[in-house]
Amino acid sequence: MFRILFVLALVTSCGRSSDKNSHHMSGEDSIISGDQASDESVPQEAKELGLPVAITQNGAIYEVEVDASSREDAVFLIFKDGSLALGSAESQWAISVKRTQFQTNSGTSGSLGFGTFDTEQSDFSAIENCNPSSMSYDEDLPIPGPPGAGTFSGNPVLNAWYNYDSNTHQVSSKNHIYLIAREGECFKFQINAYNDGVYRFTLEDLSHSMELPGEDEGTIPDDEGPVVIDASSTDSTVYLKFLDGNLLITDAMDNWHLSIKRTLFQTNSGTSGSLDFRAGAAEMPFEAMSECSVTGLIADEMLPVPGPPGSGEFSGNAILNDWYDYDVQTHTVSPKDLAFLLSDSKSCFMFQILSYQDGVYELKTTELPVGNISEPEDLSQHLGIDASSSIEAVFIGFHEGQLTATSSDGQWVLSVKRTMFQSNSGSSGDGSFGVYESALTFEDIITCDFETLSFDEALPVPGPPGSGTFSGNPVLNDWYNYDSVTHQVSSKEAVYVVSDGDMICFKIQVLSYIDGLYQVRSEELSLQEEPI
């Protein structure tokens, strides 16, 4: 067997080949470069050959050098003819690399669905087939370095490729073999060496042996026993979909309905996806449910990561992520006795978590018919408000039944700065907009009662005694709960009615709050008629 390793020559960023005799390859095929490399960086073996020669035995093994030393520009790579070639951000790239950071074209980084699986092996010849048990897709990750350095979009599995020596500040490869795959393509990939942004990779095309999760072995049988889901990985998310009464394992690029990673749940809705599969808690026990009511289901939003304050955010479903009780003494998680509904208003699925042990779930599931929707059309407005500035207030008007942005000089109705609300009345303005808290649900409030309105006055600034006062509405500024242990602010989800007692009246509810960022919903109300 001929054993000659193929090494792609590094060239300048303008795309000119450093080996003038390499006429057997196109310019793009021979380029793997970030900024600029000199002719000295091309191995002598490659210079002498003048053309690529590969080992071919059940595929082709390639060894490739890549200069990703630039701190500004990522190197985008495509799989082509069994090896790697230079691509661009606009091309059908598979992986990108900048210094120590890797992306796959999936999740938060792209739409091609290239996931990664860590075989946790280092013997390249031992991996002969592409049969990952799960795939990891790109998400927002913390930038390597001190806490608070920010985030980047990357693959959680592939970005764990190295060891870092805090004494010598040296990065070295773990030499793990990764499977990088999407439907129809699979490569095994190993990082052999790293020196200040310059890599040596080994790869082999295993597309002929693909067996991705989500095919026959990915179907979870719908029998009388519980369904077992292993979501114990801290790196990979398990994506699930319901089909023909069965629960199937799928991937991030498929039409997934539900995803799980450890204790965190997502639905394909809101900030997590575009299918609008919303979730809610069932009104009755699992066995008593005969049809699905789709009212009250909510979409995903940004939520605080469980843990100490400042742990960050994740995209998830607020109702589903309330599925467990946590014992602070034993540090154990146990499921609440709740059934959950998942629906896009056309189909509906119900599941209940029976047990949880370190990321491994037992579920029972069923499909339900969607009940007749007799409720009126939802005319409410959902709005995001950025009131995170501690200096400038956000002023909100009301025009043609909708909340609108305005200024302090405009016809404002409400203003908000961090957690503090004003209504244009009393000590805050010359308007007559008052507020009262309703005891009814948002859906049940249909008329306006302005006889009990409260108007703005001087209130104590939130914080320790003696922090001073501010002008605000005493009713509306009671909208939140404050946890003195975690220092977290959460909405009471109370519904408030705002009116000038004459021409304008609407209801408003704070759905969520994270560090000054609000999600609210509002709807115009008809004014209550004066008694004769």
Domain boundary among 157, 190, 209: 209
Averaged over 105-131, what is the pLDDT?
87
Claim to verify: residue 295 and residue 388 sit in the same structural domain: no
Claim to verify: residue 459 and residue 335 sit in the same structural domain: no
Q: Does 388 fall in a domain?
A: yes
pLDDT band at 64 (very low <50, low <70, confident <90, very high): confident
Q: Structural domain of residue 127, as residue ranges?
A: 39-209
Query: What does the pLDDT read at residue 3?
Result: 32
Taking the CB of residue 183, how many other CB atoms lie within 10 A of it? Answer: 14
* Low-confidence winner among 10-24, 143-157, 284-298 (lowest mean pLDDT): 10-24
Q: Is the model's pLDDT at 401 over the cut of 60? A: yes
Q: Is the model's pLDDT at 219 over the cut of 80? A: no
Claim to verify: residue 338 and residue 467 sit in the same structural domain: no
pLDDT band at 125 (very low <50, low <70, confident <90, very high): confident
pLDDT band at 531 (very low <50, low <70, confident <90, very high): very low
Claim to verify: residue 171 and residue 264 sit in the same structural domain: no
Q: Does 15 fall in a domain?
A: no
Domain boundary among 142, 177, 209: 209
pLDDT band at 439 (very low <50, low <70, confident <90, very high): confident
Reduced to 3 states (helix: H, G, I; strand: E, B; else coil), residue 153 is strand
pLDDT digits (tens, 9 = 90+) for 163-181: 988 888 899 999 999 999 8
The Cα-based distances of 181 to 204, 207, 215 in angstroms read 12, 8, 14
Q: Is the model's pLDDT at 155 over the cut of 70? A: yes
Q: Does 13 fall in a domain?
A: no
Task: Please identify which residue in the block is written with the tokens 């796959």.
Answer: 104
% of residues, the chain, pLDDT over 90 = 35
With contact defined as beta carbons under 8 Å apart, do 279 and 340 qualify?
yes
Query: What does the pLDDT read at residue 274?
Result: 84
With contact defined as beta carbons under 8 Å apart, do 479 and 497 qualify?
no
User: Which one, of 25, 69, 58, 65, lies nearest residue 42 by Cα?
Assistant: 65
pLDDT digits (tens, 9 = 90+) for 262-319: 999 999 988 888 888 999 998 889 998 888 887 788 999 998 988 888 888 999 999 9
Query: What does the pLDDT read at residue 223?
Result: 46
Query: What does the pLDDT read at residue 254?
Result: 67
Q: Is the model's pLDDT at 324 over the cut of 50? A: yes
Claim to verify: residue 263 and residue 387 sit in the same structural domain: no
Q: Does 474 fall in a domain?
A: yes
pLDDT band at 39 (very low <50, low <70, confident <90, very high): very low
* Low-confidence winner among 131-135, 210-214, 424-428 (lowest mean pLDDT): 210-214
pLDDT band at 320 (very low <50, low <70, confident <90, very high): very high
Claim to verify: residue 393 and residue 354 sit in the same structural domain: no
pLDDT band at 260 (very low <50, low <70, confident <90, very high): very high
Q: Is the model's pLDDT at 217 over the cut of 50? A: no
- The H or E element containing residue 412 is strand 412-417
Sign for the pseudo-dihedral over CA of 398, 400, 401, 403: negative
Name the pairing type of β-strands 360-368 and 381-386: unpaired
The Cα-based distances of 159 to 84, 115, 156, 217, 335 in angstroms read 19, 12, 5, 28, 32
Claim to verify: residue 273 and residue 313 sit in the same structural domain: yes
Q: Does 376 fall in a domain?
A: no
pLDDT digits (tens, 9 = 90+) for 326-366: 888 888 999 999 999 999 888 899 999 999 999 999 999 98
Q: Does 124 fall in a domain?
A: yes
Q: Does 109 fall in a domain?
A: yes
Query: What does the pLDDT read at residue 393?
Result: 93
Claim to verify: residue 243 and residue 361 sit in the same structural domain: yes
Q: Is the model's pLDDT at 234 over the cut of 80? A: yes
Claim to verify: residue 169 and residue 264 sit in the same structural domain: no
Dist CA 16 CA 32 (whole Å): 11
pLDDT band at 376 (very low <50, low <70, confident <90, very high): low
Task: Please identify which residue in the block is written with the tokens 């805090």.
Answer: 166
Q: Is the model's pLDDT at 438 over the cut of 70? A: yes
Query: What does the pLDDT read at residue 60?
Result: 65
Q: Does 71 fall in a domain?
A: yes
Claim to verify: residue 326 and residue 406 sit in the same structural domain: no
pLDDT band at 2 (very low <50, low <70, confident <90, very high): very low
Query: What does the pLDDT read at residue 335?
Result: 94
Bridge partners of residue 202, in order along the sequence: 63, 190
Reduced to 3 states (helix: H, G, I; strand: E, B; else coil), residue 269 is coil
Dist CA 12 CA 26 (whole Å): 15
Query: What does the pLDDT read at residue 12?
Result: 32
Claim to verify: residue 149 and residue 75 sit in the same structural domain: yes
Claim to verify: residue 128 and residue 190 sit in the same structural domain: yes
Count of structural domains, the chain:
3
pLDDT digits (tens, 9 = 90+) for 451-463: 789 999 999 998 8
Domain boundary among 180, 209, 238: 209
